[in-house]
Amino acid sequence: MILNIITVTKNDLEGLKKTVISTKKIREEHNICQIIVDSSTDENKKEVMNYLQNEKNTKYYWQQPSGIAAAFNLGLKNVEADWVWLLNGGDEVHDSLDAGFFLNLLSCNSSDAIIFQIEYAQSSQVTRHPQMWALWPPLLSWVPHPATITRKYLYDRYGLFDETLRIAMDYEYWIRCFSNDVTVDLISIPIAKFDQVGSFFGMHNLLKSEIRKVIKKYAWLILKKWFNNGLILLKALKSSLKFIR
């Protein structure tokens, strides 16, 4: 199997419906399985289960409310595909996405992760990737997880999400993961619509606080990477000067 989609939800059936409707084509026409991790109350849980009964290629898991990171981790433990797409409840597959082209791109790709773009659902603004010099370290938290497709083996090699973080767990993971010998492709095509009124949006203060915590934790690693990058630039400059003499 080439791809699993993981969707986490909690007491938001309408948001989940948006996501599941948007994945219908890729699930039914290309046999892609969507893993639903639900932490809803008993009443809402029954509604979610009833709704998913008629949806092809979905797997449902209920989890005691333990945070978003724990929900993602439960989904990851049940992944059977080569690639993983984390698509929150309320977010949608972009309506312009050519599913056949997209899946063929994944099947032919040799990188460890691919970062696409997202479109903000309410404003229709499409995110842009940073300039090359600003890509690492990702201090601006620019990596959009609804538009990032990762190899399953990355979570086996570098661990799952940090469950002590409420919202910045993906940011911490990118630093931990991408600081290793991981190859990443950047493709400027929007593949997801991000819900600006969903559970992740509007938590800027918490996000900033947790990002500061993560930066402090990995300060030495970040500085070491910057230093190594500086050495690479210095060697490149010396080589260029020799060439033009």
Where are the alpha helices (H) located in the chain, listed in sequence order?
A: 13-30, 42-52, 68-77, 99-108, 152-158, 169-178, 204-217, 219-244
Question: What backbone phi and psi angles, to 5 degrees, belong to 87?
Answer: -125, 110
Give the chain's domains with CATH numbers: 3-244 (3.90.550.10)
Q: Which residues pair with 34 in a beta bridge?
A: 5, 58
Residue 129: CB atoms within 10 Å: 16
Q: Give the whole-angstrom CA distance, residue 197 versus residue 192.
A: 15
pLDDT (0 to 100) of residue 230: 64
Q: Edge-to-edge strand order for the sheet containing 92-93?
A: 58-62, 33-38, 3-9, 83-86, 148-151, 113-120, 184-194, 92-93
Q: 158 phi and psi, to 5 degrees?
A: -115, 5
89 touches 19 (CB < 8 A) = yes
State if pTM tops 0.95.
Answer: no
Query: Crossing angle, helix 204-217 and helix 169-178, to 10 degrees?
Result: 30
* Cα distance between residue 192 and residue 120, in whole Å: 9
Burial of 243 (0-12, 13-18, 19+ CB in 10 A): exposed
What confidence score (pLDDT) does residue 31 get? 96
State the pLDDT at residue 131: 80
Instruction: Tell which phi-psi region holds residue 55, choosing left (phi > 0), alpha (psi between -120 and 50) or beta.
Output: beta
**pLDDT for 128:** 87
pLDDT number for residue 238:
67
Nearest to 93, CA basis, from 126, 118, 75: 118
Whether omega before 137 lies within 30 degrees of 0, making that bond cis, reads yes
pLDDT for 203? 67
The predicted structure's pLDDT at residue 241 = 64
pLDDT along the chain (245 residues), means of 10: 97 96 97 97 94 97 94 98 96 96 97 95 86 67 89 96 91 86 92 77 74 84 72 64 61
In DSSP terms, which residues pair with 91 in a beta bridge?
89
